[in-house]
Amino acid sequence: MNFLSLFVLVPVLMILALFLSKNRKQVLAIMVTGSSLLVILSANLVYQYIAARNAGAVDPMLFTSSVAWYKPLNINYSVGVDGVSVAMLCLSSVIVFTGVFTSWRIAPLTKEFFLWFSLLAAGVYGFFISTDLFTMFLFYETALIPMYLLIGVWGSGKKEYSAMKLTLMLMGSSMILLVGILGIYFSSGANSMDILEIVKTTIPVQQQYLFFTLTFFGFGVLGALFPFHTWSPDGHASAPTAVSMLHAGVLMKLGGYGCFRVAIYLMPEAAEKLSPIFLVLTGIGVVYGALVAIRQTDLKYINAYSSVSHCNLVLFAILMLTQTAMTGAVLQMLSHGLITALFFALIGMIYGRTHTRLITEMGGLMKIMPFLGVCFVIAGLANIGLPGLSGFAAEMTIFIGAFENTEILYRVLTIASITSIVIGAVYILRTVGKFLYGSIQNPAHATLDDAHWYERFAVITLIAGIVYIGSFPLGVSDMIHESLGNVVAQLVR
C-alpha cells in the first residue's frame, strides 16, 4: 500500500477508536495521538518529496499508485502528490492538530464531536491525495456533511439556519460539480477517471466551455466565489471554534485547489477564454468582502468577511493563469489557512471568557488577557500583510504575478483588488483599537483569566507557521512554483 493512503487510514482508525472509547480522557488521547501522527506523516512527506525532487524526479505527480476499484466504470483508487498537495496536506495537519487543542473543553457529546471532526479530516486528506475524479469527489462530499452536525449540534446563535444554509449551498454546488466531472470524463474519451490520464487527452473546446463553467462554479462556491459566498459568514459565525478553524482554514481551500487541479488543469482552453468572467466576479468579491467587514461588529463576522475577501483573492490569482500568480494563490491558501485559523481560535477563546463577540461590548481586553491580545494583534497584522508574516509573501506574489498580464482588464482588476489591502487595514485596526485597547467597558471582564496551556500551545503553533512562511517563503514557494509548471505548460498562451 502506498504510504499516502495512511493520511486517510489514520483518521479512519481514529473514528473506529473513538467508537470504542469510554470517557473524555480516552477521546482526547486518541485525538492527540492521531493528529500528532498526521503531523509527523506530513513532515515525513515533505522530506521525502523534496528528496525525490532533488534526486531528479520529473513526473508531474510523485508517489503515484493506482488500484482498480470499480472496474466496470473505469474508476480507480489513485493517489499521488505534487508540491501543491504537499503544501495543502501540511496545512491540514497543522489545523487539525491545533483544532484538537482548541476544542479541549468541548461539551456536551465530546466523543461525537471528535467523531465528526475526524470524518471531516478524513475527507480533507483524501481529497488532497487523490488523483482520480471519482475518489476526489467522494472525499470532497465526505468532508462536507459533517459540517451540518458540527454546526447544528455544537454551534451557537442561529445555528440551525446557518447549518442548513451552508449544507444546502455547498451540496448544491457539489451536485453541479458532479455533472461537470462526468462531462469531463466522458468528453475526454479517456479510459480512466484518473486526472493524469485525462490530461493526456484533449477535450473538445465546445464541451470545455460548458464543463469548465460547471466545474469552476462547483468548486468555486466552496472557495466563496462571489456572489455565492453567503453561506460562509453565517456558517462561520455559528460554528464552534475548531470547526470554524477547520472550515475556513482547510475546507475552503478544497475549492481553490479543485478549481486549479480539475478545472484549469484539464480544460486550459476554456480557462483562457472564460477566465475574464470569473475574474470580474472574484475581483468584486475581494473588494466587497473587505468593505463589508468594516461594517461588522461581531468578531466572527469580521473574520468571516475577511475570509471571503481572501478566498476570492485565491480564485482571482488562480484565474490570472500565470505561474507566479498561481504560486501566490497557493501561498495565499497556506497563509490564509493559518491566519484565519488563528483568528477563529482566538475569537473562540475570547468568546469563551467574555460570552460576547460584539466589539462594542468589549474594551481594554489587552490589559486583562495580554497573551490573547498580543496574538490577536499579530494575526491582524499578518492579515493586513505585514512583511515578515505570511500574508505579505502571499499577496506580494499574487499581485506581481497578476501584473504579468498586460491586458487592460486584468490590470484594472488587479489594481482594484490591491485596494483590499488598504481596506483590510481599516477593519483590522478599527477592531483591534475598539476591543483590545481603550478602557475596560464591562467591569465583569476585569477578573477573567488569560489563556490556558492547551490554548497557548495551539496559538503558538499557528503563529510559528505564519512566521515561518512569512520569513522564509522561498523553500515553500519553490516547491509550489516547480509543480505549477505542469499546469501552466497546458495553457496555450
Partner 1 sequence: MDYFSNFIYMRSEVSLLGVILFLLLYDIIAGNKGMRYFQPVAIFLFAVHTALNLFPYEAGESFGGMYQYEPIMTVVKTILNIATLLIFLQAKHLFDGDAQKNKRGEYYFLTLTTLLGMYFMISSGHFMLFYIGLEMASIPLATLVAFDKKDKKSAEAGAKFILSSAFSSGIMLFGISYLYGTAGTLYFSDMASLITSNPLQIMAFVFFISGLFFKISLVPFHLWTADVYEGAPTNVTSYFSVVSKSSAVFVLMTLLFKVFGNLVTEWHNILFWIIILTITVGNLFALRQRNIKRFLAFSSISQAGYIALGVISGSSLGMSTVLYYILVYVFSNLAAFGVISAIENRTGKLSIDDYKGLYQTNPKLSFVMMLAMFSLAGIAPFAGFVSKFFIFYAAAQQDLYILVLIAAVNVIISLYYYLRVVKAMFIDKNDHPIQTLATDSWNKASLIICSAGIISAGLLNIIIDTITKYSFGM
Nearest distance in Å: CB 138, partner 1: 5
Nearest distance in Å: CB 344, partner 1: 22
Among 13, 179, 291, 400, binds partner 1 (CB under 8 A): 179
Among 80, 99, 123, 470, binds partner 1 (CB under 8 A): 123
Q: What is the 3-state secondary structure (H, E, C) of 84-97?
A: HHHHHHHHHHHHHH
- Give whichever of 172 and 352 is closer to partner 1, judged by the CB atom: 172
Q: What angle do CA 210, 85, 303 make, to 5 degrees?
A: 80
Within 8 A by CB and 6+ apart from 209, the residues are 270, 273, 274
- Give whichever of 8 and 317 is closer to partner 1, judged by the CB atom: 8
The C-alpha atoms of residue 12 and residue 448 are separated, in whole angstroms, by: 39
At what angle are helices 370-384 and 453-471 packed, to 10 degrees?
Answer: 30
For position 127 contacting partner 1 by CB under 8 A, the verdict is: no
Within 8 A by CB and 6+ apart from 201, the residues are 188, 189, 190
What are the grid coordinates assigned to 174, written together? 457539489
Total chain residues near partner 1 (CB under 8 A)? 34
Nearest distance in Å: CB 229, partner 1: 18
Nearest distance in Å: CB 239, partner 1: 14
The 137-176 contact track toward partner 1, x by CB under 8 A, reads xxxxxx--x--xx--xx-----xx--xx--xx--xx--xx
Instruction: Restricting to residues 235-264, name those near partner 1 by CB under 8 A.
Output: none
Q: What is the 3-state secondary structure (H, E, C) of 304-349?
A: HHHHHHHHHHHHHHHHCCCHHHHHHHHHHHHHHHHHHHHHHHHHHH
Nearest distance in Å: CB 266, partner 1: 16
Within 8 A by CB and 6+ apart from 16, the residues are none
Nearest distance in Å: CB 75, partner 1: 9
Residue that the C-alpha cell 470580474 belongs to? 280
The C-alpha atoms of residue 184 and residue 267 are separated, in whole angstroms, by: 9
- Give whichever of 84 and 170 is closer to partner 1, judged by the CB atom: 170
The 54-93 contact track toward partner 1, x by CB under 8 A, reads --------------xxxxxx--------------------
**Contact positions toward partner 1, by CB under 8 A?**
68-73, 123, 134, 137-142, 145, 148-149, 152-153, 159-160, 163-164, 167-168, 171-172, 175-176, 178-179, 182-183, 186
